[in-house]
Amino acid sequence: MRILVAMSGGVDSSVVAALLHEQGHEVIGATLQLYDHGAAIQKKGACCAGQDIHDARRVADHLGIAHYVLDREERFRRAVIQDFADTYARGETPIPCIRCNQTVKFQDLLELAEDMGCEAMATGHYAQARPGPELHMAADPARDQSYFLAHTTRAQLARTLFPLGGMASKAEVRAHAARLGVAVAEKPDSQDICFVPSGSYADVVQKFRPEALAPGEIVDGQGRVLGEHRGIARYTVGQGRGIGVAAAERLYVHSVDAGRRRVVVGPRPATEAIMVGELNWLVTPARGEFRADIKLRAREAPHPASLWLEGDVLHVRPDTPAVAAPGQACVVYEQGRVLGAGFIRGRPRVDSEAPAAYLPPSAVV
């Protein structure tokens, strides 16, 4: 086949290109330039800028394949970085890797693949695409990235390959890199958020939504003022460090009230019922109540829950109360297969039509 490979300059996507080339496919490499070279060139473990573009081109030259660099800085700024700042300004916690996959990476690169007559696109993500099409967790649960891919559409998934998804470990990937002479075989993995070269999210938010860094009150559940914060963008639900308030017991962020610039804190939070919106279903959801596994954070194992779809809102009741930060994703699984996903919006309304089992006495609007 003729296959477009999304090459970030890291070892994973480089191995994908090398393996597909070894298998006899016509491979075309494409690298997205997503943010300023100068801001990222000093940061180790970034992607899609500076040294990483050079590394991708070097791998392509070694393989003897065509390689293209696409300038998507403005699109990335609007679709991902601006959304990152806007989400913090709403008092929520953004997840920019999903927004990037939804827009620039899958939408734009699949359009390019079609324009270039490619039959498929391949990436270095750790997940498994199976006929159906279906999205499954990677063979190595420690490397699994299905959480970040659950918002791809069925049409996108049908044209995407994840050659690393069935590999047992990262060590196996690096062994392939060494065997195939890939120059970046020992390159460190990307870390943190690629467009935050200084390591400070606040610097990015300051540029786009400075009001999210205005000071305000830290209060307890009864509204009593405990202290002052340095901007709601510095807080996320479930956070237990850096609160800035001295207390006899450890305090955690329970909610962020953007309208009043308040951060509400208390004992370790645990949500019994969750509302999920902006839904993307890869498998038609069951009618009425159904059981499935969920992930509310990328680095946790799937855990059981009861679910109920009410219009365009999914109600989720974890078997064990969990931390659910608005803005983060809720991904629904069935025996490792992704059924669908959405973004956490909060707790159900007291007048919701969902079964009473989903509405604990503490449920509020």
Cis geometry, peptide bond prior to residue 361 (ω within 30 degrees of 0): no
| Residue in 97, 100, 118, 330 annotated catalytic | 100
User: Which positions ≥6 away from 293 have C-beta within 8 Å?
Assistant: 302, 303, 304, 305, 332, 333, 334
Contact indicator for 93, 87 with CB cutoff of 8 Å: yes
Q: Is 100 a catalytic residue?
A: yes
CA–CA gap between residue 62 and residue 183 (Å, rounded)? 8
Q: Record the tokens describing residue 175, joined without a space.
A: 């062994």
Q: Record the tokens describing residue 10, joined without a space.
A: 């890291």
268 by DSSP, 3-state: which?
Answer: coil
By the 10 Å C-beta count (0-12 exposed, 13-18 middle, 19+ buried), 153 is classed as: middle
77 by DSSP, 3-state: which?
Answer: helix
Long-range contacts of 242-246 (CB under 8 A, 24+ apart): 243/218, 244/218, 245/218
CA–CA gap between residue 256 and residue 268 (Å, rounded)? 15
| Residue in 47, 118, 194, 330 annotated catalytic | 194
Q: Is 97 a catalytic residue?
A: no
**DSSP secondary structure of 297-343:** STTS--EEEEEEEETTEEEEEESS-B---TTSEEEEEETTEEEEEEE
Q: Which residues are catalytic?
A: 100, 194
